[in-house]
Structure 1
Amino acid sequence: MIIKSKEFAMALPTPSHSARALVTGASQGIGLAIARDLARYGHNLILAARRGELLQEIAEELESRHGVIVEVRAVDLADREQRAELIEEIRGREINIIINSAGIASFGPFKDQDWDYETTQFDLNATAVFELTRAVLDGMLERGTGAICNVGSAAGNVPIPNNATYVLTKAGVNAFTEALHYELRGTGVACTLLAPGPVRESVVPESEQSIVDKVVPDFLWTTYESCSAETLRALSRNRRRVVPGPLSKAMNAISTIAPTAVLSPVMGWVYSKMS
C-alpha cells in the first residue's frame, strides 16, 4: 500500500512510476531510515551500498510492504571505477531525489592513520557526494523539480583533533551543500544539508553501549527514525540546513559561539578516547 503524505508535498517531487529516489549508504543507519520513509511515501528507489545481499533483503521488505519498485546497486562508492559506472547509469535515469548518506570515519592522530583508509574515507565522504550530486543535477533542472540531501555533520563546524580527515570531508560537504542551496533557489530543485551530531538506534544493548551512550540521557539522543522524519520535513520545505535532535542542536549551537581555542582541545580529547 502506498501512503502519500501532504506533509512532504511542498518541495519533494511527486512519486511517479518512471522516477527513482537514489539513496546511498542505504544498508544501515540514516540512509536505511530515509529509504524506508521514502518507500512509505510511495517513492520508487535505487538503494546503493556495498552489501548487496543485505540491500536485496531490504528491497524485498520495502516492495512487499509498500508496493514500490526498489532497485539494488551493490557498489563501493569509494572505488573510482564502480562509482563511475553508477554515475554513468544515473545520468540517463530520472532521479528526482538523491540522498547522499554513505560515509565512514576514523579517530586518532592523523599521522598514525592507515593512509589507504584515509583516502577511502575522503573518496566516499566527499568525492562521491560531489560527483553524484553533479550527475543528477542537469536532469532535475531540466524537469524543474528535484530534491538533494547531502549528509554532512555537526563535526564539520569546528576543527576536531583526532578526527581530522572526517572533519575535512564533512566541512566540505557542509559548505558545498549550503552554497548549492542558494544557487538553486527558484529552480524547483530543493537542496538541504543534513548536519547531525550523535545518532543511534532507539535501543542500544547495555553490552554495546559506549561511554557516551552511558553518560548522555536517552531523551537527548537522535534515533535514525526521528532523524529521517526531521530531514524529510526540512527537505520538503527546502530548508538550507537541518540539525536533528536536541543533542545535535546543542552541539551545533555551542560550536558557533564557543572559542575554537577552548572547544577544539576538549573535543579532541574526547575523540582520542574513541580511537
Structure 2
Amino acid sequence: MPVPSPSATSRAVITGASSGIGMELARALAARGHSLILVARRGDVLEELAAELHRQHGVTVEVRAVDLSEPTSVEVLAAEFAGREISILCNNAGIATFGPVSELDADYERAQVLLNVNAVHDLTLAVLPQMVARRSGGILMVGSTAGNMPIPNNATYAATKAFVNTFSESLRGEVSGQGVHVTLLAPGPVRTQTPSADEASIVDKMVPDFLWHSSAKVAEMSLDALSHNKMRVVPGTLSKAMSVAGGYSPRAVVAPIVGGFYRKLGG
C-alpha cells in the first residue's frame, strides 16, 4: 500500500523546513499535491515558502514557527498533531556540533539532544496511533550515517543519530503489515548549491564537490523510498562508504580516523 494520497483534510508535516533537505521535501510534497504544515524556528522564511508553494501548486500550507529544542513548544505542537489528520511526518530538523565535548557549549549540546532525539520521539508518538488506526501513513526519519559508528569530535550528534537510526528501524518492525510506512534517510554531505569561494565553510573546503549530493535530489529519492516502504535510503558515495565502514570495520580502527577528520571540522 502506498503512502496516503493527498486530501483536503490531511496534512504532511515537515520539521526543519526553512532550509536544505526540509525545504526541498516541502517543495516535493507540494508538487505531489499534499497540503503541508511547515515547522522551523524562522517563521519569516516559512511564510515565504508557504506563499511560494500555494502559488505554484494551489495547496494549503500552514506555518508553525517553533523551536523544537524547547520541550514546552514541542508538547503544544505534539498535542495539535495528535488531533489532526497527519498523513506524512518528515522528522528532518536537526543540528550538529564538532569538537571535543569538553570544549563545547554544554547548553547547546543539551539543546542538540532535545531537538535531534526528544522532538523526533515526541512528534512520532503524537501521530503514530492515528496512522495505525487508519492503517495508513508515512514517517520519514532523517538519521545519518554518523549514527552507525562512534565519532570522536562529533559525539553528541553521532549519538543522537544512532537513536534516530535505531528507533526508525525498530518502529518499522512494529508497524509492519499495519499500513504505515517508515523509512530512514541516512544522508552524507548535502547542499542546495555550490558556494562561492568567499561563502565556503570548512566543510565545503574539506569535502570534494563530487561527494556532495543535491538536497532536491535527496528529497525526491527519500519520498520515493517512503512511497515504496523501503527501510533505508543512503544517497551519495560518502554516505554509502560510511555505512559500510560503520557496519563492518572494527570500531577501534575507524573511530580515530573519522574522529581526526571531524576535529578539523570543529576548527
Q: Which runs of 5+ in 1 are unaligned?
A: 1-9
Residue 40 of structure 1, CA deviation: 0.4
The whole-number CA distance in structure 1 between the counterparts of 2:87 and 2:202 is: 40
Q: Which amino acid aligns with 1:249?
A: K
Residue 215 of structure 1, CA deviation: 5.2
Name the structure 2 match of 1:57.
48
**1:34-49 matches, cutoff 5 A:** 34-49=25-40
The counterpart of 1:224, out of the listed 200, 215, 230, is 215
The alignment of Structure 1 onto Structure 2 pairs a total of residues equal to 266
Residue 247 of structure 1, CA deviation: 2.3
The counterpart of 1:18, out of the listed 6, 9, 14, is 9
Name the structure 2 match of 1:104.
95
Name the structure 2 match of 1:166.
157
Residue 214 of structure 1, CA deviation: 4.1
Q: TM-score, normalised by structure 1?
A: 0.93
Residues 252 and 33 of structure 1: CA distance in aligned 2, closer, same or farther (over 3 Å): same
Matched, 1:76 2:70: no
Residue 211 of structure 1, CA deviation: 4.9
Q: Which runs of 5+ in 2 are unaligned?
A: none
3-state DSSP of counterpart to 2:17: coil
The whole-number CA distance in structure 2 between the counterparts of 1:111 and 1:138 is: 40
Deviations 1:114-137 (A, max 9, x none): 111011000000000001001000
Deviations 1:54-78 (A, max 9, x none): 1000000000001100000000111
The counterpart of 1:87, out of the listed 74, 78, 85, is 78
The counterpart of 1:209, out of the listed 200, 211, 227, is 200
The counterpart of 1:130, out of the listed 121, 126, 129, is 121
The whole-number CA distance in structure 2 between the counterparts of 1:126 and 1:13 is: 26
Deviations 1:222-270 (A, max 9, x none): 1101111111111011111111122221222222222211111011111
Deviations 1:80-105 (A, max 9, x none): 11111111111100000000000001
The whole-number CA distance in structure 1 between the counterparts of 2:74 and 2:63 is: 14
**1:176-191 matches, cutoff 5 A:** 176-191=167-182
Matched, 1:258 2:249: yes
| Identical residues among aligned pairs (%) | 54
Q: TM-score, normalised by structure 2?
A: 0.96
The whole-number CA distance in structure 2 between the counterparts of 1:112 and 1:220 is: 29
Residue 220 of structure 1, CA deviation: 2.8
Matched, 1:114 2:135: no
Name the structure 1 match of 2:233.
242
Q: Which amino acid aligns with 1:228?
A: A
Answer whether contact 2:189 2:211 (CA < 8 A) is retained: no
Residues 107 and 215 of structure 1: CA distance in aligned 2, closer, same or farther (over 3 Å): closer
The whole-number CA distance in structure 2 between the counterparts of 1:164 and 1:217 is: 23
After the TM superposition, list the runs of 4 or more consecutive aligned residues in structure 1 that deviate by more than 6 angstroms. Answer: none
3-state DSSP of counterpart to 2:87: strand
